[in-house]
Amino acid sequence: MKILLVEDDRTIASGLEYSLKQEDYVPLLCQNAASATEVIHQKIDEIDLCLFDLNLPDGSGYDLCELVKRRRDIPVIFLTAYDDEVNVVMGLDMGADDYITKPFRIRELVSRIKSVHRRYTRQTQPKNIIEIDNIQINILDGKVYKNGQEIFLTALEYRLFLIFANHIGQVLTRAQLLDRIWDVGGDFVNDNTLTVYIKRLREKLEDNPQNPTLIKTIRGMGYKVGE
């Protein structure tokens, strides 16, 4: 797997580069936004995943993430020294797939890389049936089953749950969810309406809606289905 690594701290960068090579990855190391931008323009089709430091001497990981996502849908993980919710949510809203806060252990980073890459691999494989625990979605029929019994969902409930099903293990912010569903089919969905639909899905699909284990709330960030 070829990984675009952008980190301006030379000590951290060299350590990450060495560790990634030890895991049989092929890191492309850049230490500023300008050189990373050049690599993205020239080699985007060769890159499998991106690791972007948020704060760079001549730009930010946000800008690089936006550039990558415009050109190709590949995973982006942010390396950040900040763990406050504003920076995390902003990154997720821009399309980042995960983030890891410095300092971190290399094993944790490798685990995140593998998890995100598996998620993308699953998404690129066409499936007619999606299974999440005891829930089954039949894409061809547009039906949802729980323990083999069909669960009736409205059109918007189904579209919302399908968004989650297509992003297993990924934290989706409320802004991302609203952006994907509000104008589909001419339905208007605002923030309050989204809360209602999340509640309805839980009531229909969770074993215990008061203690949801399927559609999990990630405090301060959004929601996640699956690991």
Q: Could you say which of 106, 124, 142 is where a domain stops? A: 124
Q: What is the mean pLDDT of residues 35-48?
A: 93
Number of domains forming the structure of the chain = 2
Amino acid at 68: V
Q: In CATH, what number is assigned to the domain containing residue 114?
A: 3.40.50.2300
Q: In CATH, what number is assigned to the domain containing residue 137?
A: 1.10.10.10
- Residue 126: predicted pLDDT: 54
- Residue 184: predicted pLDDT: 47
Same domain, 205 and 98: no
Q: Could you say which of 124, 155, 182 is where a domain stops? A: 124
Q: Could you say which of 107, 124, 141 is where a domain stops? A: 124
Residues 117-133 have pLDDT tens digits of 887 776 655 568 888 88
Burial readout 109-130 (b: 16 or more C-beta within 10 A, e: otherwise): beebbebbbebeeeeeeeeeeb
- Residue 123: predicted pLDDT: 61
Residues 3-16 have pLDDT tens digits of 999 999 999 999 99
Q: Which two tokens stand for residue 115?
A: 């998890």
| Phi-psi domain of 217 (left: phi exceeds 0; alpha: psi -120 through 50; beta: other) | beta
Same domain, 59 and 163: no
Give the Cα-Cα-Cα angle 129, 215, 207 (nearest 5 degrees). 85
- Residue 158: predicted pLDDT: 92
Q: What is the mean pLDDT of residues 185-195?
A: 72
Backbone torsions φ then ψ of 138, nearest 5 degrees? -95, 105
The DSSP 8-state label assigned to residue 81 in this structure reads S
Same domain, 11 and 116: yes
Same domain, 76 and 169: no
- Residue 190: predicted pLDDT: 77
- What's the domain range around 134? 129-225
Same domain, 95 and 143: no
**What is the average pLDDT score of the chain?**
87
Q: Which two tokens stand for residue 185?
A: 């089919």
Residues 58-105 have pLDDT tens digits of 988 999 998 998 888 889 999 887 666 677 777 788 788 888 888 888
